[in-house]
């Protein structure tokens, strides 16, 4: 087991007084907690926590093909496990109807893109898969565990007047503006199961013990949620080998995330 270093990222939309398990100064306005890969071992999968009090930007990520064309190592599929949700929490994914590229550009310019997002009321335990090309915006009142392809590659369409760069031209070339319906979306419940099996990464929700895992998994990351797993505590993350992953047990719940990509792809 190799613990990964924690990186705390303050954000204007973040939250003060996050769960004590993260051992963060309660005065800090924390938006994200990342786990750094070892210096000598790059990882294809990134796992992080998000803590929100405001709407994040309306954005989209490119897929592998578009990212490669623009000189990036990979695109960005991601998924979310909602760990906690206030009664007024919201999350936007997909659009309320199909939009043409011209409609997306015009709506991004005048801000009406916000009203075209499909805003939902998520609840703790919801699992949502967000494939590259999908318009989305995480809203306030959420604690989210995000698993994604390991790249910081985001095209912002609209950001509520915040002084950050927007990327409408880049976004319009990769966006698929349509209602979001994904076969992997579910509610995790109290049963261990594999939530994602590829093509870029795998994710398992584990209640007490790991489910049966695929044969070919690599760079497995372990994240205890509400009880320790061995010496690893909630709020921490560690790299483990595939054999260890298959035999893990806990008095609580934990998440496993791993790469399914062929090295160099």
The Cα 33–Cα 145 span in angstroms is 10
Residues 6+ positions from 35 with CB-CB distance below 8 Å: 4, 5, 6, 7, 46, 47, 48, 221, 237
Q: Two tokens at 84?
A: 């906690």
Cα–Cα distance measured from residue 154 to residue 59, given in angstroms and rounded to the nearest whole number = 7
- Other beta carbons within 10 angstroms of residue 169's beta carbon come to 9
Cβ of 185: how many Cβ atoms within 10 Å? 16
C-beta of residue 44 within 8 angstroms of C-beta of residue 259: yes
The tokens of 52 are what? Answer: 């929100």
Active site includes 218? no
From the list 15, 55, 74, 156, the catalytic residue is: 156
Distance CA 81, CA 65 (A): 26
Task: Pull the structure tokens for residue 155.
Answer: 């095209």
Task: Say how far apart CA 97 and CA 38 lie, in whole Å.
Answer: 43
Phi, psi of 257 (to 5 degrees): -135, 140
Q: Which residues are catalytic?
A: 156
């Amino acid at each position: 087991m190799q613990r990964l270093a924690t990186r705390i990222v303050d954000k204007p939309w973040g939250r003060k007084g996050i769960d004590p398990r993260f051992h963060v100064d309660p005065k800090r306005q924390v938006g994200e907690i990342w786990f750094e890969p070892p210096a000598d071992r790059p990882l294809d999968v990134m796992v992080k926590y998000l803590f929100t009090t405001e709407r994040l930007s309306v954005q989209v990520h490119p897929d592998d093909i578009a990212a490669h064309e623009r000189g990036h190592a990979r695109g960005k599929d991601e998924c979310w496990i909602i760990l906690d949700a206030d009664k007024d929490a919201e999350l936007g994914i997909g659009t309320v109807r199909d939009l043409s590229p011209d409609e997306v550009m015009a709506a991004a310019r005048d801000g009406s893109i916000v009203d075209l997002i499909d805003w939902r009321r998520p609840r703790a335990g919801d699992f949502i898969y967000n494939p590259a090309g999908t318009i989305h915006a995480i809203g306030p009142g959420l604690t989210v565990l995000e698993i994604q392809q390991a790249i910081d590659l985001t095209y912002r369409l609209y950001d509520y007047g915040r002084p950050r760069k927007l990327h409408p031209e880049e976004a319009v070339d990769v966006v698929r503006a349509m209602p979001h319906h994904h076969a992997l979306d579910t509610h995790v419940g109290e049963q261990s199961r594999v939530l994602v099996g590829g093509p870029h990464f795998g994710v398992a929700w584990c209640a007490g013990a790991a489910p049966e895992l695929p044969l070919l998994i690599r760079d497995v990351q372990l994240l205890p949620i509400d009880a320790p797993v061995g010496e690893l505590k909630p709020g921490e993350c560690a790299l483990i080998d595939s054999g260890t992953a298959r035999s893990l047990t806990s008095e609580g719940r934990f998440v496993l995330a791993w790469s399914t990509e062929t090295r160099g792809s």
